[in-house]
Amino acid sequence: MKPIDLRVEGIRQGAIEVARNRLIFVMALFSLGFLTLIVKLVSVGVFQADGSAYYHTDNVNTSLLMARADIVDRNGVILATNLKTPSLAVVPAKLKTSPEELAPRVAAIFPDMSEEKAFKLLSTTRPHTWIKRTLTPKQVFEIKKIGDPGLVTSDAEKRIYPQGRLLSHILGSVDIDNKPSSGVEAYFNDQLIDPSKSESPLALSIDIRLQYILNQELATYKEMFSAIGAAGIILDVTTGEVLALSSLPDFDPNDTSGPQNVNEMNRVLQGDYELGSGFKTFTLASALDNKVVSLADRYDATKPVRVANFTIHDDHPKSRWLNVPEIFVYSSNIGTLKIAQDIGVERQIAFFDKLGLFTKSDIEVYEKSTPLLPRQWGPTELATTAYGHGIAVTPLHLASGVAAMVNGGRLIPATLLRKNNDIAQSVSQDLGTQVISPATSEIMRNLLHLVVEYGTGKNAKVDGYLVGGKTGTAIKAVNGGYNDKAVISSLVSVFPIDKPKYLVFAMLDEPKGIKETYNLITAGMTVAPMVGNIIKRVGPLMGVMPRKEDEMYFKDLMLISGTDE
């Protein structure tokens, strides 16, 4: 079959041409549109491949959001945690049963709630009243069994301190609405309530085992000597980490009311005390570092000295000339003040300032006090501060200072946060300011060792460990005067003294004499045995190896002046 060639001519031809052209135009438009689509499709699919299209974005949250993050000790033991605890409330508008009928059934569930009290709570006029907070799962079940829509259980978060009173002064506490009132809880509040850090606990430098040992020994000796208070601290002298910090009396942080009276303050950080002979460590280190005295120098301690209007005695009088190690070992006030007089006021002030004794410590709590300093620095103040009177600092100041005396001369600010072990190695090298030379620090270590071996700290001796320390028995200032019967007995000790690692400070506030100590209340009789006990228990726990032999320096030097002991 042959195709027929149709041809329209004339006026019709023009009309067909127009229609065709229009068609082609529309076709071209459509083609262009589709072409753009194809180009876009290819470019998206091939050139701009979007990887995220293959993954479904995570919109379901599996992280447990708590109002406050946990606090753990250096080994990860939980010290504070938030738990969801159900609470029971009553909404009277929704009650289906009368309060008279409901009261006995509700009271039966809670053993500590009387029927009258339950009735009073249930017949409230307020729209929403709490009946009981922190229910056990069984109690929730029993409430649900009653089945009244007016009894509403809802989850609230409660801060739990599993260790009880053990860390009350460090952690502080929170109130019923989880608002912190003191301690680390208050200092790190912003970090603890940060939702993005909800699952990363705050790791403290505290070791719960050491904390327990310290707390227990303090409690035992506080009871034994009927002291009004006791305080102690264990410090890592190489890093400045506080391993244990305890102050008695303490409070239960689970009880939301917090510390009740001034006696429950944190004595280690808030208590300003004239700490007595512990300060002789600083005076002597300053003298040795400034090359004012040498170890063989001798001072006249035959009779009490008058400075301004005061007569200064020795507590353990030897009534003879003493050389420098003897002054320290027998804790001679007279010798020390004479050394201080040789140092001079300016250098003494500069040294105390360098040790941070004039300012608040940097430790991470808000409750810490500024040292009480003498109003002016005259000859009297120079003499008294030399042996720790007339200047009141917190025990932490003394502990940090003594740590610097023994660790090679570096003053490392005490911290409550765990330092990463790997970092701590490098950090401890450059962190901290050099306050005395390593050589002076070496001498101080040996002098402290002598005190425990032969001097006032004999009772702190522990078989197998090399312990160094300095006792301090300071008469308490009461109402502007001094009262002989009220003393602060303290001992700051370091072990192992040949390679210092741990510093143990313990203090008893107003110990009373007992028969076993011949009614003596000096630190050597009251606190020294306690520190000995603490070291005996802490040493093996922290892997400090006992030593067989004690190496003693300057022992011969001490005998130069012919001691009659």
Partner 1 sequence: MIKVFAAFAILTVMISTASVYNLKQATYDLEEKKRDISAQILKDREAIKVLKAEMAYLSRPERLERLGRRHLALESTDTEQIAADITELTVRDNVQLVKMPVDNFQLLLPRQKPSTIVAVNNPQTRNITSLPKVEKSATQKAENRKLEQRQQESRQQSLYDRILAKLGN
Q: Which residue stretch of 277-285, 380-388, 508-516, 532-540 sits at the interface with partner 1 (rule: CB under 8 A)? A: 532-540
Outline where DSSP puts E strands in 126-283: 129-132, 151-160, 202-203, 229-236, 242-248
Q: What are phi and psi of 282, to 5 degrees?
A: -70, -45
* CB-nearer residue toward partner 1: 549 or 564: 549
Residue 546 in the binding site for partner 1 (CB under 8 A): yes
Pairing of strands 242-248, 202-203: unpaired
Q: Which of 40, 313, 485, 547 binds partner 1 (CB under 8 A)?
A: 547
Sequence letter at residue 381: E
* CB-nearer residue toward partner 1: 375 or 548: 548
Residue 125 in the binding site for partner 1 (CB under 8 A): no
Q: How buried is residue 86: exposed, middle or buried, by Cβ count under 10 Å (0-12/13-18/19+)?
A: middle
Residue 548 in the binding site for partner 1 (CB under 8 A): yes
Residues contacting residue 42 through CB under 8 Å, at least 6 positions apart: none
Q: Which of 151, 166, 365, 447 binds partner 1 (CB under 8 A)?
A: 166
- Nearest alpha-carbon partner for 329 in 463, 460, 469: 469
Residue 164 in the binding site for partner 1 (CB under 8 A): yes
Whether the link from the prior residue into 249 is cis, omega within 30° of 0, is: yes
Reduced to 3 states (helix: H, G, I; strand: E, B; else coil), residue 122 is helix
Residue 45 in the binding site for partner 1 (CB under 8 A): no
Q: Which of residues 62-81 bind partner 1 (CB under 8 A)?
A: 62, 64, 66, 77-79, 81
* CB-nearer residue toward partner 1: 166 or 218: 166
Q: Which of residues 415-444 bind partner 1 (CB under 8 A)?
A: none
* CB-nearer residue toward partner 1: 11 or 60: 60
- Nearest alpha-carbon partner for 171 in 250, 230, 241: 250
Residues contacting residue 43 through CB under 8 Å, at least 6 positions apart: none
Q: Which residue stretch of 101-109, 292-300, 514-522, 536-544 sits at the interface with partner 1 (rule: CB under 8 A)? A: 536-544
CB of 525 closer than 8 Å to CB of 517:
yes
Minimum Å gap between C-beta 383 and partner 1 is 41
Q: Which residue stretch of 307-315, 365-373, 459-467, 521-529 sits at the interface with partner 1 (rule: CB under 8 A)? A: 459-467
Q: Which residue stretch of 57-65, 230-238, 289-297, 319-327 sits at the interface with partner 1 (rule: CB under 8 A)? A: 57-65
Q: How far apart are alpha carbons 238 and 407 in whole angstroms?
A: 6
Write out the H or E segment, with its range, that includes residue 495. Answer: strand 481-495
- Nearest alpha-carbon partner for 160 in 84, 86, 82: 82
Residue 448 in the binding site for partner 1 (CB under 8 A): no
CA 76 from chain centre, in angstroms, equals 15
Residue 84 in the binding site for partner 1 (CB under 8 A): yes
**Token duo for residue 301:** 């301690």
Residue 536 in the binding site for partner 1 (CB under 8 A): yes
Minimum Å gap between C-beta 518 and partner 1 is 27
Residue count, binding to partner 1 (CB under 8 A): 33
Q: Which residue stretch of 188-196, 224-232, 241-249, 539-547 sits at the interface with partner 1 (rule: CB under 8 A)? A: 539-547
Q: Which residue stretch of 160-168, 240-248, 267-275, 555-563 sits at the interface with partner 1 (rule: CB under 8 A)? A: 160-168
Minimum Å gap between C-beta 463 and partner 1 is 5
Q: Which of 150, 464, 477, 512 binds partner 1 (CB under 8 A)?
A: 464
Q: HEC string of 143-181?
A: HHHHCCCCEEEEEEEEEECCCHHHHHHHHCCECCCCCEC
In this structure, the number of other CB atoms found within 10 A of the CB of residue 97 comes to: 16
Q: How buried is residue 412: exposed, middle or buried, by Cβ count under 10 Å (0-12/13-18/19+)?
A: buried
Q: Which of 209, 320, 360, 476 binds partner 1 (CB under 8 A)?
A: 209
* CB-nearer residue toward partner 1: 60 or 262: 60
Minimum Å gap between C-beta 546 and partner 1 is 5
Pairing of strands 71-72, 202-203: parallel
Minimum Å gap between C-beta 159 and partner 1 is 11
Q: How far apart are alpha carbons 393 and 387 in whole angstroms?
A: 13
Q: Which residue stretch of 171-179, 302-310, 367-375, 533-541 sits at the interface with partner 1 (rule: CB under 8 A)? A: 533-541
Minimum Å gap between C-beta 163 and partner 1 is 6
Q: What are phi and psi of 426, to 5 degrees?
A: -80, -40
Minimum Å gap between C-beta 231 and partner 1 is 19
Q: Which of 89, 160, 292, 417 binds partner 1 (CB under 8 A)?
A: 160
- Nearest alpha-carbon partner for 166 in 113, 212, 229, 116: 212
Residue 146 in the binding site for partner 1 (CB under 8 A): no
- Nearest alpha-carbon partner for 387 in 437, 456, 442: 456
Q: What are phi and psi of 98, to 5 degrees?
A: -75, 150
Q: Which of 8, 38, 41, 83 binds partner 1 (CB under 8 A)?
A: 83
Place of tokens 């209007």: 309
* CB-nearer residue toward partner 1: 81 or 139: 81
Minimum Å gap between C-beta 517 and partner 1 is 24
Residue 313 in the binding site for partner 1 (CB under 8 A): no
**Token duo for residue 149:** 């829509």
* CB-nearer residue toward partner 1: 102 or 467: 467
Residue 262 in the binding site for partner 1 (CB under 8 A): no
* CB-nearer residue toward partner 1: 106 or 208: 208
Interaction site with partner 1 (CB under 8 A): 56, 60-62, 64, 66, 77-79, 81, 83-84, 160, 162-164, 166, 208-209, 212, 216, 462-465, 536-537, 539-540, 545-548
